[in-house]
Structure 1
């Protein structure tokens, strides 16, 4: 009795990947819809509100100090070792390598550079916007705070907004942005939101960021993801330029080393010795000048053909008189009445019958 193995969830995932078309006819590119514009505006307002609340030293700054004095890493030391590794999910280098490996596989399979170019564009926007905000506001972290109750802004720091949180939002959120189905996009959006918020709270636990840093970093990363549809035309143009350069390079490389082909020779060219009478002589294609029509030259019938090169000159004996020769000598036993080759005697057998 034949039984079939039950497919696991991992088997179904790989089966789905195998059914994915290598050249999709239509790639779903998110548009800047009205819903997305409303989300972008609300997130931008939240971003400005957080900056304003910290700048005027409001209740949010006092709450930051309360959390810092609570010292979560001392309250729950048993999870400290785990969170030291979990916070790596927000570091730019390791996360970019992991996500780029997956998107590179998708780019190779679908024959498109859009996944990798989208990741590069989002990381570039992240470095510009978040880096400029960090340097512009110059807020010190909890471990370097000077005045209790102060917002610690303009003192040369670089922790506002949280780079770990913003990087986690963008790096893991790009997977949801590039998802091929709405269901996958919803699940990946929720997963990236939980992961990025967890990374931000981990930095608060470790004492490297204020809580307001995490909120602003989460908003900064979300703004980049929501603004990506505006960058899609530039991504498409860059992809077209890269493919155009690749095609032109392949064309130049193909013209640089042409394969030799045989073409009929020009009139007046020397015919080959082995060419039969009345047959056209073939020469390499590289000898035919551009723009000229190759002409076929017919060897004149009055020309006497040369002797074939495989016939040796001199007298020839019949096959019956030829002695088979092997590397160790003749296999025919010697006869005293046998004449040597090339001599004629009366007792010698004639070369031909009759």
Structure 2
């Protein structure tokens, strides 16, 4: 008798992923000439913003004008709403939401590419933006020390890691990856426009709250766009990582199936030769056998009297009424003459 191995929850998930015999062919973006031109223009814009801030040009003066205008005091009625709206640029909550959606897509499309592409984009974002932040060391509006200065090279001062804006760059990458992984050109266009508007609105919200300069927002928007435009260069490593992970999964499943204990089949019993005596016993009518449990009479159930039970010492003694001797009809009463007994014998 062979029993089927009991599947765990992880085995059922892998079985669900292996249900389709063939993975669908996805439209992977390539590094076309148009994309290369956009990447070059965005990189030039990025370097221009950095140069304008380092040289304390008109852009820095405009930063100070916007900061001294204090938008949060000019329109205080939208302050509470924008406090929640800026969360759309925080890396933790947005990464969880987008990763959940891409994980569902990976399960439905039978591929790990959406999750791996999102992970690669976040890794590039943290490395590139983090290096520029700590390398330039620009202080934010709340930590400014001199009016009109670019507030650069303050490496050991609090709040000196705001250039470029991490909220803006994260909003571009997190919501733009949905457009990058879209399966149709129409969805890609709509999602690209939506992510651009969303990322710019998050960046301008940081200017309203006074946590970033306007130039920080422009540089953060360019930094996130550079990652999305250059992501097709990393598609071959993503494909190799996906193949390696799937191969590792297949080897793990094969090893788990080999180590699963299976029931050993019981060998069939050898045929017993039939003798004449055994044949006669088989032809004889079967005897009626009575099992010991069936022959034993069933015991009547014991019913206890209702109410509380008391011990013998707690019971009230009862004196019996009348004589304790049993009645004997053949015995004569005391004081009467007994009748003559017949004599026997001869």
Same fold (TM over 0.5): yes
**Structure 2 vs 1, CA of residues 323 and 69 (structure 1 numbering), >3 Å: closer, same or farther?**
closer
| TM-score relative to the length of structure 1 | 0.71
**Structure 2 vs 1, CA of residues 306 and 128 (structure 1 numbering), >3 Å: closer, same or farther?**
farther
Other-structure match for 2:218:
215
Counterpart check, 1:181 vs 2:184: yes
Task: State the Cα RMSD in Å.
Answer: 2.8
Counterpart check, 1:47 vs 2:12: no
Offset from partner CA, 1:284-342 (integer Å, 9 cap, x none): xxxxxxxxxxxxxxxxxxxx78999xx9xx9xx965x74766845399xxxxxxxxxxx
- Runs of 4+ aligned structure 1 residues displaced above 4 Å come to 21-24, 260-264, 304-308, 321-328
- For structure 2, the 5+ residue unaligned runs are 1-19, 298-346
Contact 1:323 1:330 (8 Å CA) reproduced = no
Say how many residue pairs are matched. 271
Q: Which has the higher contact order (CA 8 A, sep 6+)?
A: 2
Considering only CA atoms, is the larger Rg found in Structure 1 or Structure 2? Answer: 2
Contact 1:22 1:109 (8 Å CA) reproduced = no
- For structure 1, the 5+ residue unaligned runs are 1-20, 265-271, 278-303, 332-354
Counterpart check, 1:275 vs 2:290: no
Correspondences of 1:311-330 after superposition (within 5 Å): 322=288, 327=293, 329=295
| TM-score relative to the length of structure 2 | 0.73
Query: 2-side partners of 1:41 and 1:324: how far apart?
Result: 99
Other-structure match for 2:122:
123
Counterpart check, 1:112 vs 2:111: yes
Other-structure match for 2:8:
none
Offset from partner CA, 1:106-142 (integer Å, 9 cap, x none): 0011111000000000000000000000000000000
**Structure 2 vs 1, CA of residues 322 and 174 (structure 1 numbering), >3 Å: closer, same or farther?**
closer
Other-structure match for 2:237:
234
Other-structure match for 1:78:
77
Deviation at 1:276, TM superposition (A): 1.7
Offset from partner CA, 1:34-88 (integer Å, 9 cap, x none): 0000000000000000000000000000000000000000000000000000000
Contact 1:177 1:185 (8 Å CA) reproduced = yes
Counterpart check, 1:205 vs 2:208: yes
Deviation at 1:263, TM superposition (A): 9.9
